[in-house]
């Protein structure tokens, strides 16, 4: 099923400001984990799929937004590894289906839209029970795939080489990925999370809880940078689009506008502002999710090159 161990490459990014400040900036290409189970989603799903198989489930149910990388990854992994999949999608159905949901449908996912109000009940027992009544038994992969098994999978992002950096930086949605990175770093170096949504500091509690569920520990070598959200989740401003297009031109690496674009924008801005010290080495985790660019361009008119 999922590979025993995969190791993605680390590349140096020659950013003008980083060079000027004597800082070395690197990017870990987690976007290369798998062609369709991209980036951190590969890490987060691995042990959930193994558990589902152990428990002899044949169906996985999960939840997400209409452009969700998580929905996309679950649909493909289910198709590849022989599980039926059900995707509960936030918000009304729009026609034609966007490329994310069209792929999911093509890979056999049963797509079920619910209102945003209904979606907010995602963690309620009664809500999940109603889904069982409707769809039968399933293995529940929570929204964004974040649970203790996802944390375990994300610890595998970190190997010896990754541990040698002074700062590790990662975009956050539900916080499962950074939780795994924090655990793997075992209190060493500094880990920075960049929430993709407005008012992202609520994630401190969510991340701490995920870590606690996983190994019962607490760490204090991490923090969130909450002001590079560009107006909110999946929101953007023209300078973010310009940054992503420039980054592609200069370094040959695609970023997407929801997570990794904001992350790299934030890091390079912090470098400019002198947050990091001369001689330090920074590792940005490219968490993948490039499939989302298609839907973004469809909505906003091919602005990402």
Ligand X SMILES: *Cc1c(COP(=O)(O)O)cnc(C)c1O
**Beta carbons of 66 and 96 less than 8 angstroms apart:** no
> What is the distance between the alpha carbons of residues 231 and 243, in angstroms, rounded to a whole number?
16
Stretch that binds ligand X, among 16-24, 101-109, 122-130, 286-294 (CB under 6 A): 286-294
**DSSP assigned state of 11:** E
Stretch that binds ligand X, among 109-117, 120-128, 171-179, 236-244 (CB under 6 A): 171-179
The residue among 46 and 70 lying less far from ligand X, judged by its C-beta, is 70
Residue of 200, 257, 288, 295 interacting with ligand X (CB under 6 A): 288
The residue among 58 and 206 lying less far from ligand X, judged by its C-beta, is 206
Q: Does 78 bind ligand X (CB under 6 A)?
A: no
Nearest alpha-carbon partner for 164 in 24, 22, 21, 267:
24
Residue of 99, 153, 176, 257 interacting with ligand X (CB under 6 A): 176
How far is CA 95 from each of CA 4, 32, 66, 71, 73, rounded to the nearest angstrom?
40, 31, 12, 18, 22
Residue of 60, 71, 148, 171 interacting with ligand X (CB under 6 A): 171
Residue of 70, 90, 152, 167 interacting with ligand X (CB under 6 A): 70
What b/e string do you get for 55-76 counting C-beta neighbours within 10 Å, with b at 16 or more?
eebebbbbbbbbbbbbbbbbbb
Contacts with ligand X by CB under 6 A: the residue count is 18
141: phi then psi, degrees, rounded to nearest 5: -100, 115
Residue of 177, 183, 240, 276 interacting with ligand X (CB under 6 A): 177
Nearest residue to ligand X on Cβ basis: 289
Residue of 266, 289, 293, 296 interacting with ligand X (CB under 6 A): 289
**Backbone conformation region of residue 169, classed left if phi is above 0, alpha if psi is from -120 to 50, else beta:** beta
Nearest alpha-carbon partner for 156 in 27, 8, 260, 26:
8
Q: Does 87 bind ligand X (CB under 6 A)?
A: no
Q: State the binding string over 40-69 for ligand X (x if CB under 6 A, else -).
A: x----------------------------x
How far is CA 81 from each of CA 109, 145, 300, rounded to the nearest angstrom?
13, 17, 34
70: tokens are 């998580």
The residue among 142 and 159 lying less far from ligand X, judged by its C-beta, is 142
Looking at 166-291, list the stretches that DSSP marks H as alpha helix, in order from N- to C-terminal side.
176-185, 203-215, 238-251, 260-272
Q: Is the dihedral of CA 200, 194, 45, 235 positive or negative?
A: positive
Q: Does 33 bind ligand X (CB under 6 A)?
A: no
Q: State the binding string over 244-273 for ligand X (x if CB under 6 A, else -).
A: ---------------xx-------------
Q: Does 172 bind ligand X (CB under 6 A)?
A: yes
> What is the distance between the alpha carbons of residues 130 and 17, in angstroms, rounded to a whole number?
53
Q: Does 155 bind ligand X (CB under 6 A)?
A: no
Residue of 175, 261, 266, 295 interacting with ligand X (CB under 6 A): 175
- The residues of the shown chain that bind ligand X, judged by CB under 6 A, are 39-40, 69-70, 144, 146, 171-177, 259-260, 287-289
């Amino acid at each position: 099923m999922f590979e025993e161990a995969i190791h993605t490459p680390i590349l140096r990014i020659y950013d003008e400001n980083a060079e000027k400040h004597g800082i070395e900036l690197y990017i870990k290409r987690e976007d290369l984990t798998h062609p369709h189970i991209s980036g951190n989603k590969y890490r987060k799903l691995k042990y959930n799929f193994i558990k589902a198989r152990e428990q002899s489930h044949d169906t996985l149910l999960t939840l997400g937004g209409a452009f969700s990388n998580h929905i996309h990854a679950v649909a493909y992994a289910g198709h590849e590894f022989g599980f039926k999949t059900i995707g509960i999608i936030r918000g009304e159905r729009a026609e034609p289906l966007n490329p994310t949901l069209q792929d999911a449908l093509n890979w056999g996912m049963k797509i079920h839209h619910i209102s945003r109000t209904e979606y907010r009940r995602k963690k309620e027992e009664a809500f999940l029970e109603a889904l069982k009544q409707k769809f039968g038994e399933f293995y529940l992969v929570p929204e964004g795939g974040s649970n203790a098994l996802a944390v375990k999978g994300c610890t595998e992002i970190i190997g010896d080489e990754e541990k040698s950096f002074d700062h590790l930086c990662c975009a956050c949605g539900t916080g499962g990925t950074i939780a795994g990175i924090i655990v793997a770093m075992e209190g060493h170096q500094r880990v920075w999370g960049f929430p993709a949504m407005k008012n992202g500091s609520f994630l401190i509690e969510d991340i701490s809880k995920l870590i606690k569920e996983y190994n019962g520990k607490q760490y204090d070598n991490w923090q969130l940078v909450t002001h590079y959200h560009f107006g909110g989740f999946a929101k953007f401003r023209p300078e973010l689009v310009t940054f992503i297009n420039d980054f592609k031109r200069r370094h040959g690496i695609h970023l997407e506008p929801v997570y990794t674009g904001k992350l790299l924008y934030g890091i390079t801005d912090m470098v400019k502002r002198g947050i990091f010290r001369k001689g330090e080495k920074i590792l940005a985790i490219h968490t993948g999710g490039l499939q989302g660019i298609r839907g973004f361009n469809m909505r906003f008119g091919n602005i990402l090159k």
